[in-house]
């Protein structure tokens, strides 16, 4: 399932909430559009993709997804302010699936960074439930590195993105009736970029 499906899932959830009289979702939908690169089952060809997260509040969950359990996709944020990395967990027999979308601000492709403001959306597909921070002031990626996974240059290129971070305030449903605090998260996923590569970009590591 690619990022078009992420956008569709968000659009349906936001539309359902809007029909119930919920205020505009703002940044919730922004981090779910544009990238058209399909996700691949298994996340990373190198076999080392993962997502770990600790959630408390409306649901108490400890996520530990391995490369073979997940699909991932990513790219630049629609407004060019950073990167978006998304993960879809195992699909259940009843059609339910948990999806995370991280909108990471103030970082460009190929660059290592620290202390990045992050918008987080957690979607419970098949349950019509969506939790969002609706802004990037509640979560932080405190370390991010990127490693090139294909040839640099041409019309498309990819990077392995590894990050860890935390949230200090919860994400909430658009109605504001439930809250979910992701106290920590760690992941390795990917971004796929269309267009010319930065001429000076190289694999970098946070120090």
pLDDT tens for each residue of 166-184: 999 999 998 899 999 999 9
Q: Give pTM, 2 decimals.
A: 0.79
pLDDT tens for each residue of 77-109: 988 889 999 999 998 888 899 999 999 999 999
Cα distance between residue 205 and residue 188, in whole Å:
14
Domain ranges of the chain: 3-194
Q: What is the mean pLDDT of residues 10-30?
A: 45
What local confidence, expressed as pLDDT, does residue 7 receive?
A: 47
Helices (H), the chain: 3-19, 27-30
Cα distance between residue 19 and residue 130, in whole Å:
15
> pLDDT band for position 156 (50/70/90)?
confident
In degrees rounded to 5, what are phi and psi of residue 9? -60, -45
What local confidence, expressed as pLDDT, does residue 152 receive?
A: 64
Strands (E), the chain: 40-41, 50-57, 61-66, 71-76, 82-88, 97-105, 116-125, 129-132, 139-148, 156-167, 171-173, 179-194
Q: Is the pLDDT of residue 62 over 70?
A: yes
């Amino acid at each position: 399932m690619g990022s078009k499906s992420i956008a569709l899932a968000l659009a349906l959830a936001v539309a359902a909430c809007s029909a119930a009289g919920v205020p505009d979702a703002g940044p919730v939908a922004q981090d779910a559009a544009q990238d058209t690169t399909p996700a691949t089952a298994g996340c990373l060809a190198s076999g080392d993709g993962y997502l770990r997260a600790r959630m408390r509040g409306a649901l108490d969950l400890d996520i530990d997804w391995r490369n073979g359990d997940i699909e991932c996709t990513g790219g630049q944020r629609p407004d060019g302010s950073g990167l978006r990395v998304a993960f879809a967990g195992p699909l259940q027999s009843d059609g339910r699936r948990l999806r995370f979308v991280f909108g990471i601000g103030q970082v460009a492709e190929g660059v290592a960074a620290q202390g990045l403001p992050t918008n987080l959306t957690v979607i419970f597909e098949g349950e019509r439930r969506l939790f969002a921070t609706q802004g990037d002031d509640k979560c932080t990626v405190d370390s991010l590195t990127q490693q090139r996974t294909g040839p640099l240059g041409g019309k498309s290129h990819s990077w392995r993105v590894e990050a860890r971070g935390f949230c200090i305030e919860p994400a909430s449903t658009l109605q504001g009736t439930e809250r979910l605090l992701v106290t920590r998260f760690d992941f390795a996923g990917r971004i796929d970029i269309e267009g010319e590569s930065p001429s000076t970009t190289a694999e970098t590591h946070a120090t």
